[in-house]
Amino acid sequence: MLGDDAELTAAVHAAQDGDETAFRTVYRAVHPRLLGYVRTLVGDPDAEDVASEAWLQIARDLDRFSGDADRFRGWAARIARNRALDHIRMRGRRPAVGGDETELAARPAESDTAVEAMEALATDGAFSLIAQLPQDQAEAVVLRVVVGLDAKSAAETLGKRPGAVRTAAHRGLKRLAELLAGDPESPGGLDALPPQRQPRGRAVTSAGVTDTRARTQKDM
């Protein structure tokens, strides 16, 4: 995984110039998060196939892309979502959250109480909890946490307004906090967090969605 967005941006640009090693670097950095998002939409065992189709399109259309690491993640997420929706239409299946929590565990953390709570979720079956959310909330949470999109990019991916995505993510986080607090499989629930990581408000934090661009209080 790349150390920071500057490195990912450089790798994307190098891949656009035909550097196969750079493209493999981009794939390794982005794929785990993208796969987690696809699993939110189609569940297992189809997620791997749908993600592969998305990467084929990403590789084919890469020369049309313009922007930095953040824009690339949003662009890749939109492609993955379109492929997932095509798959759902073909199979006549409703979207379903599925998979394991490895994609969340691999998400780089920042110093924010929401992020810290998500770390606890990552070790306690985050996706099994996310699966209990309404689809719009689950998708908003995964886009902002796993993929790492800000509200604007997530809204573009979903075809919604940023305010609607913030609201869905906020409600999803609140519900995840309640689920985590009452989950008997999660030792101590919210109380299991170290003192310095105690959420400021049980509602948003324990869901801890990740990088809600690490501005949970400001964005929501």
The predicted-structure confidence for 109-160, as pLDDT tens digits, reads as follows: 333 434 444 554 453 466 677 878 898 998 998 888 778 888 899 999 999 9
How many Cα atoms occupy the beta-carbon half-sphere of 175 within 13 Å? 20
Buried b (16+ CB within 10 A) or exposed e, 4-14: eeeebbbbbbb
Looking at the predicted structure, is the pLDDT value of residue 199 above 70? no
Q: What pLDDT is stored for residue 10 in this prediction? A: 96
pLDDT, tens only, 175-189 = 888 877 775 454 333
Q: What is the DSSP letter of 132?
A: T
Please give the C-alpha separations between residue 132 and each of 29, 44, 70, 188, 196, in angstroms, as whole numbers. Answer: 28, 16, 28, 20, 29
Instruction: Specify which residues 42 forms β-bridges with.
Output: 96
Asked whether the beta carbons of 136 and 168 are under 8 A apart, the reply is yes
Indicate the pTM of the whole model. Answer: 0.66
pLDDT, tens only, 51-100 = 999 999 999 999 999 999 999 999 999 999 999 999 988 887 555 544 44
Average model confidence (pLDDT) across the chain: 73
Q: What is the mean pLDDT of residues 192-217?
A: 35
